Amino acid sequence: MGGIEFVLLATMAYDRYVAVCNPLRYSAIMHGGLCVRLAAASWIGGSLNSLMQTAITFQLPMCTNRVIDHISCELLAVVRLACVDTSSNEVAIMASSIILLMTPFLLVLLSYIKIISTILKIQSTEGRKKAFQTCASHLTVVVLCYGMAIFTYIQPHSTPNILQEKMISLFYALLTPMLNPMIYSVRNKEVKGAWQKLIGQFCELKSKLTSS
């Protein structure tokens, strides 16, 4: 699911690029057929990567201690249970991460370089603000997802800090998906109204408690 999300984020970056840099051709470029193909490519790519990593990992002979020191059946945590040299598996994980993590990340980076360049050329302040708002939620999720994943999987070989790795995994496996609906709906008028109402009720309750 993580691999699928990384590719989908790159696809969404392309969508934002077309919306900002080619707004008049948006409907013609991002038609339904292309969206379906991009989504299918994301699912196929992520699933094939997961299948390959699972097959390679479960060929390893495991030690007598089969307790996974992690919050989930994380790939790196399972590899550490092996009783043989796992350097080839680590190389495979690194290569997979570069293909499925860094390649989409570079595509996202390229898209935003083009987007920022276009936004800076917009004359009106309102136009620049509207263009930035189009990308703000997606950019926030990109920073959260890619930042945590790159820190976990793309790093020099060293003695791992297990506690740190658990906390990072907990963040991008649970907190990021929980924050996604809030991040993507922050511009929704109904959601804004609900938040304002909730904050108003909280302030009113706090005022009553203070006065009493």
Tens-place pLDDT, residues 143-189: 877 777 776 666 544 445 667 777 777 776 777 777 777 767 766 67
In a domain, 204, yes or no: no
Give the whole-angstrom CA distance, residue 155 versus residue 116: 29
Q: How many domains does the chain have?
A: 1
> In b/e form, how buried is each residue of 186-201, taking b as 16+ CB within 10 angstroms?
eeeeeeeeeeeeeeee
Indicate which CATH number applies to the domain containing 31: 1.20.1070.10
In a domain, 192, yes or no: no
Alpha carbon distances (Å) from 109 to 14, 35, 82, 103, 159: 10, 20, 37, 10, 30
- Count each helix (H run) and each strand (E run) in the chain, helices first: 10, 0
In a domain, 207, yes or no: no
In a domain, 203, yes or no: no
Higher pLDDT, 1 or 14: 14
**Does the pTM exceed 0.85?**
no
Q: How far apart are the first and last CA of the chain?
A: 51
What pLDDT is recorded for position 37?
92
Question: Cβ(12)–Cβ(138) under 8 Å?
Answer: yes
Confidence of residue 6 (pLDDT cuts 50, 70, 90): confident
Question: Cβ(51)–Cβ(69) under 8 Å?
Answer: no
Tens-place pLDDT, residues 54-90: 888 888 887 777 777 777 777 777 777 788 877 777 7
In a domain, 193, yes or no: no
